[in-house]
Amino acid sequence: MKKRIVILGSTGSIGTQTIDVIASNPDKFELYGITAHSNSELLISQAKKYKPNFVIVTKDECYPIVKEALSGEDIKVFAGIESVCDLVSMPSVDIVVTAMVGYAGLKPTISAVKAGKTIALANKETLVVAGELIKELALKHRAPILPVDSEHSAIFQCLAGEANNPIEKIILTASGGPFRTHNIEQLQFVTKADALKHPNWEMGAKITIDSASMMNKGFEVIEAKWLFDLNMDQIDVLVHPQSIVHSMVQFKDGSVKAQLGMPDMRLPIAYALSYPNRLNNDYERLDFLKFNQLNFEKPDIKKFRNLDFAFQAMKTGGNMPCILNAANEIAVYGFLNDKISFLGMSDLIEWAMENAEFISKPTYEDYVETDSMVRKITSEKIGI
Ligand code: NDP
Ligand code: MG
């Protein structure tokens, strides 16, 4: 039986690479549905080429264009986030790949979890914002959450066959981004063009900025806590500029397992789709002689304060990680639109964490309210 897959965010970096994996394994997977927000052109061309059963565009203005373009095809076309929630809940769907960016992923992910679907999770913001709730729902509805993020996939792969062996700690690796060797003075003047040049990975704009500011690693720490049931003191971060060791697990006998490979997101995507099996492919192989030095450094949290904020938010709990995420989404938007500087992003996040209303035991409605309130106050603060 082929696995029927829905990709939320098919037009993005993870979305297009997921289509690539599916298209290379037509005997194993069927592309059942695709969704995007505003890139009608790419969504339409994906729909025409791969002929999924469902296509959904979440930006209302794009609906007539997509509907019209696909009118001659045997494809159902819908608009809006509620349609996405309905699609992921359909009995015929096996796997939902959450490859849309940001807080927008929360609602459809909850729907998919409630429907007991296997989640191939790329959208880490969902676990940052509402990890506790998602975890609880996933247990209740027996929805497996399989990581797509390369670090978490590495840990997941290291844990295969280790069910009875508790983790002592995990070590998340970080490339350090384009500003790894910059000092604070230099960081004051970096531009968005500088920040958008990631040394090792080709990704969407938001995560590329998050990587440059190390907020991405902070988010991944929180993501790891929920995925692998860890305490804060069980999660270490090491800068590893080559991005070859994707992360490590240390067991209670002191043994450390690592997963290595070329930086290619199709690998963790394929593992999440085909777990527990591995798929054959002809992607570039790791040549140890080409990478004959693998380096590790301590991250500098004085320079990259966002990483520290993420640890603080995780420690505080409640809606603090949701505040962190919302402030960061506005900060990144502000930076990409020349409203604040690179370091100004951390100032805005710190301000939001100090000023937004704290809720120690948030409900889903509290997360929604926190997200919109923090967006409002941070947007006002930077004049957008
Ligand atoms: P991209 O920016 O490349 O793609 C984002 C996708 O989300 C697009 O399909 C976009 O549609 C859609 N989208 C944007 N806004 C909304 C919205 N409001 N509602 C619904 N859909 C929306 O991002 P990436 O693929 O790089 O990242 C996606 C997620 O995966 C992020 O959470 C990121 O952190 C995570 N991730 C990414 C990695 C990578 O290598 N890229 C690695 C690990 C995790 P449209 O194009 O139509 O605007
Ligand atoms: Mg990652």
The ranges of the chain with pLDDT < 70 are none
Domains in the chain and their CATH numbers? 3-147 (3.40.50.720), 150-263+284-300 (no CATH), 317-384 (1.10.1740.10)
Q: How far is the CA of 149 from the centre of ligand 2 (A)?
A: 5
The reported pLDDT for the residue numbered 156 is: 98
Tens digits of per-residue pLDDT, 301-318?
Answer: 999 999 999 999 999 999
Q: How far is the CA of 122 from the centre of ligand 2 (A)?
A: 9
Q: How far is the CA of 117 from the centre of ligand 1 (A)?
A: 20
The reported pLDDT for the residue numbered 168 is: 98
Ligand showing the shortest atom-to-Cα distance for residue 40: 1
Please identify, by atom number, the ligand 1 atom nearest to the C-alpha of residue 216: 34
Q: Which residue, judged by its Cα, is nearest atom 36 of ligand 1?
A: 122
The reported pLDDT for the residue numbered 58 is: 98
Ligand 1 pocket test: pick from 83, 207, 227, 271 the residue with the most ligand atoms within 8 Å of its Cβ.
207
Whole-model pTM? 0.98
For ligand 1, is residue 84 a contact (CB within 6 Å)? no
84, 10 contact by CB (below 8 A)? no
Amino acid at residue number 239: V
pLDDT exceeding 90 applies to what percent of the chain? 98
Tens digits of per-residue pLDDT, 46-60?
Answer: 999 999 999 999 999
Q: How far is the CA of 253 from the centre of ligand 1 (A)?
A: 39
Q: Which residue has the tokens 């159902």?
A: 76
For residues 325 and 82, what is the distance between their CA atoms, to the nearest angstrom?
Answer: 23
The reported pLDDT for the residue numbered 306 is: 98
